[in-house]
Amino acid sequence: MTCPVKFSVQGRSGAARAGTLELARGVVKTPVFMPVGTQGAIRTLSPLHLADTGSQIILANTYHLHQRPGEDLVAKHGGLHQMMNVDLPILTDSGGFQVFSLQKKTVEEDGVTFTYEVDGQRTFLSPEISMDIQQKLGADIAMVFDECLAYGTDKAYAEASVARTTRWETRSKQAHTRPDQSLFGIIQGGFWPDLRKRSAEEIQAIGFDGYAIGGLSVGEGYEVMCEVLDYTVPHMSAEHPRYLMGVGRPLDLVEGVARGIDMFDCVIQTRHARSGVMYTWPGRIRVTDSRFKRDMYPVDTSCSCYTCRNFTRAYLHHLFRVGEVLGATLATIHNLSWFAQFMAAMRQSLIEGRFEAFRAQVHETYPEKAAPPAKPKAAAKPQAAGKRTKKPRKPRS
């Protein structure tokens, strides 16, 4: 028996919706982006700074935590929240995506045998084992164990995989007994409308607290992703939260929301930050570029994050140039904060009936075929009336 999730909608624009997801550890306002803490931590970021980013819910990975440090040690801490010292709700991925991205694996009805890429250890993962691990990790939301299909998989294999995923998700629900942890189902089906429809119907017939779309962000590209959403989301329950797994560019987020998605996760926000790539309302910048060497503006003049309140582009440029880890930390704080603000602004546009204008602005600022980022101008975010633009900072003595 799973823990019911209370989900309600406060605003709509076509299929897009602004909602509220009530969990035991807090209320999550949707649409929402979830930062990824794969190994039980947001890389380069302490929990103190995580709290300042405005993030509402984070993700950790079952596969990696099972390998290191092991779910029993996490349980000994009292679960992920206590071990990480994080009060936010946590969602754990089942490990299916990581397992099926490996080259050396054997898929059978019972589960998957694979070679751990770090030390070569042979490991077996099944729906029952994945549920046992996630219940010991103690996340607020657990994900079922499914088979993620690679882009280019032939339809005959995809048909057999959809049937196997339905059986695995049935077993996942049967093995999931923790009453204070919600369980989300995952819809697969590759890149065929009939298989996506079939998977959606079969997984929803099992009955879960929310439903995710898996098997995207596997190399198919933006246009194909949108097509799959177009013929999948209409078959998903409107009464439950909908989660698009592994997607997180600004354009992907706004187009996912336009098609009815409520929840997203991705690693690019933190991965890009560690190389000095930062997101702003006027567009993406690379703070390591030489033009920022003496730039006394904050990263984004419309951003209220800790980094933008206290530091200049010139300082971040310096930190990256000398290899100081603080640069990655400050960039990560900014990117996570900016995406939290981005999703909040999108939500507000839905509530106020401005979503299509917001969507158009995102297409203009973050187009699919984007040229290399030009020198950013000090500009306000879309429809952000009343925001004060910061003046250039003077050098400190």
For 24-63, the pLDDT digits (tens) are 899 999 999 999 999 999 999 999 999 999 999 999 999 9
Phi-psi region of 390 (alpha: psi -120 to 50; beta: other; left: phi over 0): beta
Reply yes or no on whether 209 is catalytic: no
Model pLDDT, residue 385 = 37
Residues 6 or more apart whose Cβ sits within 8 Å of residue 319: 326, 327, 330
> By C-alpha distance, which of 277, 212, 211 is closest to 250?
277
Please give the DSSP secondary-structure letter assigned to residue 41. S
Residues 278, 249: contact at Cβ < 8 Å? no
Distance CA 30, CA 252 (A): 15
- Tell me: pLDDT of 194 over 70: yes
Alpha helix stretches (DSSP H) within 138-221:
155-175, 193-206
Reply yes or no on whether 140 is catalytic: no
Catalytic-role residue among 93, 140, 209, 300: 93
Asked if the bond preceding 298 is cis, omega within 30° of 0, the reply is no
Model pLDDT, residue 382 = 52
Q: What is the pLDDT of residues 245-272, one digit of tens each?
A: 999 999 999 999 999 999 999 999 999 9
Residue extent(s) of CATH 3.20.20.105 domains in the chain: 6-266
Model pLDDT, residue 4 = 75
Distance CA 288, CA 292 (A): 7
The H or E element containing residue 70 is none
Residues 37, 25: contact at Cβ < 8 Å? no
Average pLDDT of the chain to the nearest whole number: 92
Q: How many Å is the Cα radius of gyration of the chain?
A: 21
Q: What is the pLDDT of residues 79-105, one digit of tens each?
A: 999 999 999 999 999 877 877 777 778
Q: Which residue has 């099926």 as its token pair?
A: 100
Report, as an integer, the average pLDDT of 100-119.
84
CATH 3.40.640.10 is held by the domain 6-266: no
Q: How far is CA 266 from CA 37, 118, 281, 343, 355, in A?
A: 10, 22, 19, 14, 23
Please give the DSSP secondary-structure letter assigned to residue 376. P
pTM of the model as a whole:
0.92
Report, as an integer, the average pLDDT of 12-16.
97
Q: What is the pLDDT of residues 328-377, one digit of tens each?
A: 999 999 999 999 999 999 999 999 999 999 999 999 999 997 554 444 44
Residue 388 CB: number of other CB atoms within 10 A? 9
Q: Is 377 exposed, middle or buried (0-12, 13-18, 19+ CB in 10 A)?
A: exposed
Report, as an integer, the average pLDDT of 107-121.
85
**Percent of the residues in the chain that have a pLDDT greater than 70, as a whole number:** 92
Catalytic-role residue among 146, 252, 265, 300: 265
When pLDDT is cut at 50, 70 and 90, the band that residue 397 belongs to is very low
Report, as an integer, the average pLDDT of 178-193.
97
